[in-house]
Amino acid sequence: MAQIQAGYEAVVELTRGGIVECVHFGAMAVVDSVGNVLASLGDPNLVTFPRSSMKPLQAIPFVEDGGPEHFGLTEEELAILCASHHGTDEHVRVLRSIHAKVGLKEADLQCGVHWPSDKATVLAMRERGEEPTPYRHNCSGKHSGMLAQALLHDYSKSTYLSMENPLQQRILKTVAQMCDVKPEEMPVGIDGCSAPVFAMPLRSFALAMARLADPVGLGEMRATACKQITHAMMTYPEMVAGPGALDTVLMHVMQGKAVVKGGAEGYQMLSLMPGACGRNSPGIGVAIKISDGDPNRRATYAIVVGLLKALGFGDEMQSEAFSNFNTPKLKNWRGLEIGEIRLARPIEITKTW
């Protein structure tokens, strides 16, 4: 039996020949919009960085201040502000539209440069002899939103990533409010795209995700902003990630019942909308962290499937559209079944509705 380590427990097992060959450790918190913990794995108070799962929260101040209306942004354009997009030509098209409306240049982006994660786009670019630019960076939507917020309030555009900039202080305060923690209690790090990223307990981030879906008691402006963000993400899931990605496919499969956003190093969030789990069910937030970073995402997929089945979405998990993520049987390169991938223990849900 694998032992719990630093707030994590054994969450997913891979077998071969009838024995456990590999174990992934992780932690999870499932929380409703008033803070009740509905399920957990490991320590729900484990403090860690949500990485790109935080993007919908980082967009709240811009939306709350009327930024999309001020610049005439569409829902599709709002969705990519919350995205870790795959760098396709469609994503670049939307980013260029945002920049034209806001008055930005690609050179304003300080996210860096990497090749798209969409393989078809990479092949097409190489055939054209095209090198990647900041538009292809998966975080360029978030950065475009931050730059737009800076222009909206006449903050410094060149220092938009500095914690000294009022823009980042506003984002910090907003994230803290959504998580129901004090700003000074959240460690600040630097994300892969050079933007600030904040750490908080899984339980606190799950609460923020539940409130994003079900913004009860947050005030009219905050509630309206949350609803705009979730609607945009669920309406344009292709903008949030890309072809074949968990976030995009799962939002399609859930048909307006869930907002999904992954993060680096084994982080995953889900927000389930009010009523999604049955009559009178509240908004539900989920924060998952896999300790080894889950580089091929297999542990994340297994937990997401197990959790959603426990919440009553068995048909959605068995759908053909989601089949690439629900693969409990392990096969080798010849297609021979050699074992299974399974939860180390069942996920038990405490219902509050």
Instruction: Please name which of 55, 40, 35 lies closest in space to residue 289, comparing C-alpha atoms.
Output: 40
What is the arithmetic mean of pLDDT over 193-220? 97
Residue 4 has what pLDDT?
Answer: 52
- Tens digit of each residue's pLDDT (9 = 90 or more) over 83-102: 999 999 999 999 999 999 99
Q: What is the tens place of the pLDDT at every residue in 155-185?
A: 999 999 999 999 999 999 999 999 999 999 9
Q: Are 248 and 321 in contact (CB under 8 A)?
A: no
| pLDDT bucket at 131, cuts 50 / 70 / 90 | very high
In which element (H, E) is residue 171 found?
A: helix 166-179
Residue 148: alpha-carbon gap to chain centroid: 21
CA distances 191 to 132, 160, 167, 350, 352, Å, are 20, 14, 16, 34, 36
CA Rg value for the chain: 20
Pairwise CA distance, residues 268 & 39, whole Å = 15
Q: Is the pLDDT of residue 189 over 70?
A: yes
Residues 45, 149: Cα–Cα separation, whole Å = 32
Q: Which tokens in the block code for residue 248? A: 């995009």
- Residue 273 DSSP code: P
**pLDDT higher than 90, residue 67:** yes
Q: Are 271 and 259 in contact (CB under 8 A)?
A: yes
State residue 6's pLDDT score. Answer: 83
Which residue's entry shows tokens 């891979």?
Answer: 14
Question: DSSP readout, 204-243?
Answer: HHHHHHHHHHS-TTS-HHHHHHHHHHHHHHHH-HHHHS-T
Sign of the four-CA dihedral 266, 271, 276, 279: positive
pTM, full prediction: 0.96
The token pair that represents 344 in the structure block? 């180390």
Residue 135 DSSP code:
G
Per-residue model confidence as pLDDT tens digits over 103-119: 999 999 999 999 999 99
Which residue type does 186 have? M
Nearest 10 degrees: CA dihedral of 83, 323, 297, 211?
50
Both tokens of 34, joined, read 């008033």
- Output the pLDDT for position 5: 64
Residues belonging to the chain: 353
Give the pLDDT confidence score for residue 220 in this predicted structure: 96
Q: Where are the beta strands (DSSP E) in the chain?
A: 9-16, 19-32, 37-41, 47-48, 188-190, 196-198, 200-201, 258-263, 267-272, 284-290, 329-331, 337-343
Q: 203 and 48 in contact (C-beta within 8 Å)?
A: no
